Structure 1
Amino acid sequence: MSYKFQAFSALHVPGDPLILYNAWDPGSARAVASAGAKAIATGSWSVAAAQAYGDGEALPLELALAGAARIAGAVDLPVTIDFEGGYAVEPAAVAANATRLVATGAIGCNFEDQVVGGEGLHPVDFQVARIAAIRAATGRDFFINARTDIFLQNGPATHDEAKADEAIARGNAYAAAGASGFFVPGLVDLALLQKISRAVRLPINFMAFPGAPGTRDVADAGVARISHGPNPYRTAMAALTAAAQEAFDWR
């Protein structure tokens, strides 16, 4: 796994971001790979929806791990898995689940700081302990993409310098705990994105979605990774629905 981790890590270049067009199963992973992807990432929303579950760890852990193993076995590219909150709360339990994820062949994961199934974010010190536990359990060759949900709380009108400063504090605390990257979904203010990119000692991950700034503008803000989240799944399902409707409306 070491060489895949090293190759994946090296793809995170500020200003020349790694593009991750998120997959949800082996077939979609192969389709994305055939389009020229340099790595494969999943999105938890899409993986769950494809199995008729909701997001927020509603997909059972055993199914999540089995799906990760099938995706990792279907492509030769590095595979990173959206592991939400690690399917546990306490650091030791999160670390045990992360060890199981490593065994699937995944070289990294997203790991978020929101309280899954609850409200708000975990306190910084507690999230730091959770990240440190994952790092200790997985070793150095595992890409922990630490996600903060600060910018998904209370809407874009609250995205200001103070919130960016809070994100920077979290990002640098997560870096000290062993995180490999810092994910800021929901943030679209390019000035704040640039501020965070300059201040956090980790590659910054932006989430693309319809209406968000384009790749060039985001790259110019110093971002090193762009994820597409649930939108590839939504696009595929919309195309499938339209094609099915056309087939049914033959008369």
Structure 2
Amino acid sequence: MTSHAHPRSLARVAVDAAALSELYTAPEILRVVNVWDAVSTRVVSELPGTRAIATAGHGIAAAHGYPDGERIPLDLMIAALERIVAATDLPVTADLDGGFADAGETVRRAIAVGVCGANIEDRMRPLRESVDVMEAAVHAGDSEDVRFVLNARTDALLKAGDRPRGEALAEAITRGRAYVGAGAQCVFVPGVLTGDEAGALVAGIGLRKVSVIGLPGALTAAEYEALGVARISYGPMPQNVALTALKRLGTSLLADGVIPDDTEKLNNF
């Protein structure tokens, strides 16, 4: 995979955005294995099934020593995204948390370093305010002649509290439809979804307009695909798995173990 010495041109980002948009609308579900730095990007990019790169905001923050939730300085997040873009030739969609107080400006800065799409959270702000955030992100892309691929996230299920599940699903659909109306390509509804729930979201928001996360207990990608889901991602879980492997290796080495014979050299740039 070729590394780029300079940020991608706006024309190239526009091409990437068109390619990413087609991946969302294709009959096959878009599988993205979330990355958090240049070397994880390189490893995932070289897998035959990878069509696009998606970052995990939690993972990038953790790699720099910050908790999740926009605690990492925006300058540092943008710099990390620039390195990730430079490590791949594939379209890159970024987790931009809640937009870092100014979704439009944050998207413009992401586009400037080569990012062509993003997740932005509604954080269960009032609906009108949330729609404004999503519109600002889309309009920022338009101002750069990039049809920015927004995967608008609603936390209607994650933050449902004691509300009946059906009410939370109904709100996710209401918000999702509003975000699609604001120009979002897709709506990310995190949480472990049953087949019936995923089907209800697709019926309410639109075919290949729903994005899910593959947490323990969730359906397989193929099962979600059959229901008309557009995308499945894995959030911080790939980093968690990698760190679990590091922890186990470290435990073994500190107990006088050896490096396994089947270890690959994956970090050569």
State TM-score, norm by structure 1: 0.91
Q: Please say if residues 151 and 159 of structure 1, whose CA atoms lie closer than 8 Å, have aligned partners that are also in contact.
A: no
Partner of 1:152: 158
Runs of at least 5 residues in structure 1 that lack an aligned partner in the other structure? 115-120
**Regions of 4+ moved over 6 Å:** none
Structure 2 CA distance, aligned partners of 1:209 and 1:52?
24
Matched, 1:185 2:197: no
For this pair of structures, how many residues does the alignment match?
Answer: 240
Partner of 2:69: 56
Percent of residue pairs bearing the same amino acid type: 35
List aligned pairs for 1:1-251, cutoff 5 A: 1-13=13-25, 16-36=28-48, 37-88=50-101, 93-114=102-123, 121-139=124-142, 140-154=146-160, 158=163, 160-201=165-206, 203-250=209-256
What's the offset of the Cα at 1:135?
Answer: 1.5
Q: Please say if residues 14 and 203 of structure 1, whose CA atoms lie closer than 8 Å, have aligned partners that are also in contact.
A: no
The structure that has the greater radius of gyration is: 2
Letter in 2 for 1:97: T
State TM-score, norm by structure 2: 0.85
Worse overlay, 6-15 or 50-59: 6-15
Runs of at least 5 residues in structure 2 that lack an aligned partner in the other structure? 1-12, 258-269
Deviations 1:105-149 (A, max 9, x none): 0001100000xxxxxx10111111111122112115211110001
Structure 2 CA distance, aligned partners of 1:171 and 1:43?
21
Worse overlay, 161-170 or 59-68: 161-170
Structure 2 CA distance, aligned partners of 1:2 and 1:61?
23
Alignment root-mean-square deviation, CA: 1.6
Partner of 1:117: none
**1:194–1:14: structure 2 CA closer, same or farther, 3 Å change rule?**
farther
